C-alpha cells in the first residue's frame, strides 16, 4: 500500500526536523498571521476558513507548521476571530487576538508576548496554504542567532508585493512595499513572500521600534529587514524554488488556482506510484489515499478523508468516495457515492449506488443501480442489483434481494434491525418491516409486506390473492 497526500508527511518528518534542529539550533516558535478580513473573497466566511482540498486554508498552514516540530504555534487572529477559533478549536495552537488591524509588524508583535527570547521565530501566513515543509526547513537552516532568513520569489507580475532591494553586491538591504516604491523599485522582480525566520530577541526589539511612517500608516513587519542590515545582522534570502508554494489567496480566482495546483500534485504522486488516471486534471483528492497496484480511476472522481483502494480496484467516472475501504478487484461503476463503507474484494458496485456510513460488504457482493445501503452487513456473494434500500440489516451469504425490496427499519421513532439469513431470496417490491428475521433459504414472494418472522426454507406470500371475476363487463359511455 502506498499513501498520497502532498506535503503532509506527518509525524515522522516532524520528529526528523525537530531532531535536526535540536542538535543545531534554538527552539522554534511559529507565528501564523490570520487576522485578515479577506474582503476580496466576497464571502461571509472568514478568509482563512475557506476550504482548499476540503480543509480550511489555515488548517493547511497549521499542519505544515507541525511537521517542523516547533515548541509552539501562535496564531494571530482578528476579524471573524471567534468563528476561526471555534472552527479550529481542536488544533494544538495558541491563539492571540489582534484587536486592531494595524499591520503585519503589529500582528507579529502581539504574538511575541508568548515567545521566549531564546527562540527562533518563523512567520507564516494563514492565506498562503501550500507552503511546503522542505522549503521551510531550508529557510530555517539559513537562520541563526545573528542571521535572519527571508523567503523571496521571482514574480512575472510583481504588482502588489513588497520588492526586495539588494545592494550592488547583491546583498538584501530592505523591503519596499508597492505603495511606497519609486519607479525604479517597482521594476524589481524579486518580491517578498512575507515568510521569514528571525531570532526572537532581535525581532522583539526591532518590532518595538517599527513606526507607521508609510503611505498606509501601518506597522510593517518588512521594516525589520533594514533594521537588521543596520545592526550588521546578515539577511539570508532564499528564492522560493516552487512559486506555487508561496502563492496567497486573496480572491476566489486565486483559491481556484491553488485548488488546481493541489489537484495536479496529488494526481502526479498517484501516477508516479503506478495508479492509472483517465485524466490527472479531473481527480480531486481531499484527504489521504492509500492504494495497491494497478488501480484505475476514471474522470471526475472525488476522494475525501481516508480512502483505501486495494489492488486492481477500478473506480468509474463521477464517483465520490469518502472514508472508505475498497477491496482488491472490486469495480465501482460510474456515479456512486460511497461514505464510510468497508467493501470487500471482488465486488461489483453501481452504477448509481449509494453507501452511507457503516456499510460492510463481504467478497463478491453485487450492489446495482439505485440501491442504498446504510449500517448494514452483506455476506459473501449477496446481491441487491436494482432499486433497493437496506438499512440496519444483517444479511448472510448468497442472499438475493429483489428489485424494489425495502427494509423498513424506521417506525417513525426508532430504528430496528432486520436479519436476513444465508440464501434468502426476496421477491420484487417486497417490504420487510423491522424488527424481523428471515430464516435461511426462505423465499419471499414478490409484492409481499412481511411483518412477522419468515420461516427458513419456505415460500412466504404476504399479499392479496389474485382473483379473476367471470362475466364482468367494462362500463361503456352513455349515448346522448
Q: Is 255 in the site for ligand UD1 (CB under 6 A)?
A: no
Q: Is 287 in the site for ligand UD1 (CB under 6 A)?
A: no
Q: Rounded to the nearest whole angstrom, what is the least distance from the CB of residue 37 to ligand UD1 in the complex?
A: 8
User: What is the spatial distance between Cα 328 and Cα 305, in angstroms, rounded to a whole number?
Assistant: 20
Catalytic residue among 79, 335, 386, 416: 386
Name which of 165 and 367 has its Cβ closer to ligand UD1: 165
Binding letters toward ligand UD1, positions 153-172, x by CB under 6 A: --------xx----------
**Segment 109-128, which members bind ligand UD1 (CB under 6 A)?**
125-127
Hey, which bits of 111-189 come out as E strands? 120-125, 147-154, 163-166, 172-176
Which H/E stretch holds residue 391?
strand 383-391
Name which of 189 and 458 has its Cβ closer to ligand UD1: 189
Q: Is 203 in the site for ligand UD1 (CB under 6 A)?
A: no
- Member of 5, 66, 106, 383 binding ligand UD1 (CB under 6 A): 106
- Member of 33, 65, 303, 384 binding ligand UD1 (CB under 6 A): 33
Q: Rounded to the nearest whole angstrom, what is the least distance from the CB of residue 161 to ligand UD1 in the complex?
A: 4
Which of 93, 147, 118 has the alpha carbon at shortest distance from 28? 118
Name which of 125 and 262 has its Cβ closer to ligand UD1: 125
Which H/E stretch holds residue 223?
helix 223-230
Q: Rounded to the nearest whole angstrom, what is the least distance from the CB of residue 180 to ligand UD1 in the complex?
A: 9
User: What is the spatial distance between Cα 344 and Cα 327, in angstroms, rounded to a whole number?
Assistant: 5
Q: Can the peptide bond before residue 435 be classed as cis, meaning omega within 30 degrees of 0?
A: yes
**Segment 53-92, which members bind ligand UD1 (CB under 6 A)?**
76
Which of 295, 271, 302, 267 has the alpha carbon at shortest distance from 281? 267
- Which grid coordinates belong to 8? 503532509
User: What is the spatial distance between Cα 356 and Cα 359, in angstroms, rounded to a whole number?
Assistant: 6
Residues shown for the chain: 480
* Residue labelled with grid coordinates 515543509: 133
Q: Rounded to the nearest whole angstrom, what is the least distance from the CB of residue 135 to ligand UD1 in the complex?
A: 15
Active-site residue, 386 included: yes
- Which stretch in 137-145, 191-199, 267-275, 305-313 sits in contact with ligand UD1 by CB under 6 A? 191-199
What's the maximum distance between 2 C-alpha atoms anywhere in the chain?
Answer: 113
Q: Rounded to the nearest whole angstrom, what is the least distance from the CB of residue 257 to ligand UD1 in the complex?
A: 15
Q: Is 222 in the site for ligand UD1 (CB under 6 A)?
A: yes
For the chain, the first-to-last Cα distance in angstroms comes to: 82
- Member of 18, 28, 30, 35 binding ligand UD1 (CB under 6 A): 35
User: What is the spatial distance between Cα 323 and Cα 315, in angstroms, rounded to a whole number?
Assistant: 15
User: What is the spatial distance between Cα 319 and Cα 228, in angstroms, rounded to a whole number?
Assistant: 54
Residues taking part in catalysis: 386
Residues that bind ligand UD1 (CB under 6 A): 33-36, 76, 98, 101-104, 106-107, 125-127, 161-162, 175, 177, 191-194, 220-222, 248
Amino acid at each position: 500500500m502506498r499513501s498520497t497526500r502532498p506535503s503532509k508527511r506527518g509525524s515522522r518528518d516532524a520528529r526528523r526536523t525537530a531532531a535536526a534542529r535540536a542538535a543545531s539550533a534554538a527552539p522554534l516558535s511559529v507565528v501564523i498571521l490570520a487576522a485578515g478580513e479577506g474582503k476580496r473573497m466576497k464571502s461571509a466566511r472568514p478568509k482563512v476558513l475557506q476550504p482548499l482540498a476540503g480543509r480550511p486554508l489555515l488548517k493547511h498552514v497549521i499542519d505544515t507548521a507541525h511537521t517542523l516540530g516547533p515548541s509552539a504555534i501562535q496564531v494571530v487572529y482578528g476579524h471573524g476571530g471567534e468563528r476561526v477559533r471555534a472552527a479550529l478549536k481542536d488544533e494544538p495552537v495558541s491563539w492571540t487576538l489582534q484587536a486592531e488591524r494595524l499591520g503585519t509588524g503589529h500582528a507579529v508583535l502581539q504574538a511575541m508576548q508568548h515567545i521566549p527570547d531564546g527562540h527562533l521565530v518563523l512567520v507564516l501566513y494563514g492565506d498562503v496554504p501550500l507552503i511546503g515543509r522542505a522549503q521551510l526547513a531550508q529557510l530555517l537552516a539559513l537562520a541563526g542567532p545573528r542571521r535572519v532568513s527571508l523567503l523571496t520569489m521571482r514574480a512575472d507580475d510583481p504588482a502588489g508585493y513588497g520588492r526586495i532591494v539588494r545592494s550592488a553586491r547583491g546583498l538584501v538591504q530592505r523591503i519596499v512595499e508597492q505603495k511606497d516604491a519609486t519607479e525604479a523599485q517597482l521594476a524589481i522582480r524579486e518580491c517578498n513572500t512575507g515568510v521569514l525566520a528571525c531570532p526572537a530577541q532581535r525581532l522583539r526589539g526591532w518590532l518595538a521600534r517599527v513606526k507607521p511612517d508609510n503611505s498606509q500608516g501601518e506597522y510593517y513587519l518588512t521594516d525589520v529587514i533594514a533594521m537588521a542590515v543596520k545592526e550588521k545582522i546578515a539577511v539570508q534570502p532564499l528564492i522560493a524554488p516552487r512559486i506555487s508554494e508561496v502563492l496567497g489567496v486573496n480572491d476566489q480566482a486565486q483559491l481556484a488556482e491553488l485548488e488546481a495546483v493541489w489537484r495536479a500534485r496529488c494526481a502526479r504522486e498517484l501516477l508516479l506510484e503506478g495508479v492509472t488516471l483517465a485524466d490527472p486534471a479531473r481527480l480531486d483528492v481531499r484527504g489521504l489515499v492509500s492504494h495497491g497496484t494497478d488501480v484505475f480511476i476514471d474522470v471526475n472522481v472525488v476522494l475525501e478523508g481516508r480512502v483505501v483502494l486495494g489492488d486492481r480496484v477500478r473506480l468509474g467516472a463521477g464517483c465520490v468516495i469518502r472514508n472508505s475501504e475498497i477491496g482488491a478487484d472490486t469495480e465501482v461503476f460510474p456515479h456512486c457515492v460511497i461514505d464510510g463503507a468497508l467493501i470487500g474484494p471482488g465486488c461489483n458496485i453501481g452504477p448509481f449506488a449509494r453507501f452511507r456510513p457503516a456499510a460492510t460488504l463481504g467478497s463478491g457482493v453485487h450492489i446495482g443501480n439505485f440501491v442504498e445501503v446504510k449500517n448494514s452487513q452483506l455476506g459473501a456473494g449477496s446481491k441487491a442489483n436494482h432499486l433497493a434500500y437496506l438499512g440496519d440489516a444483517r444479511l448472510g451469504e448468497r442472499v438475493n434481494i429483489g428489485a424494489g425490496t425495502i427494509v423498513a427499519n424506521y417506525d417513525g421513532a426508532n430504528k430496528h434491525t432486520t436479519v436476513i439469513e444465508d440464501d434468502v431470496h426476496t421477491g420484487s417490491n417486497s417490504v420487510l418491516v423491522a424488527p424481523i428475521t428471515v430464516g435461511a433459504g426462505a423465499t419471499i414472494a414478490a409484492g409481499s409486506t412481511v411483518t412477522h418472522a419468515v420461516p427458513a426454507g419456505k415460500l412466504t406470500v404476504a399479499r392479496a390473492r389474485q382473483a379473476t371475476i367471470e362475466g364482468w363487463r367494462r362500463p361503456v359511455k352513455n349515448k346522448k
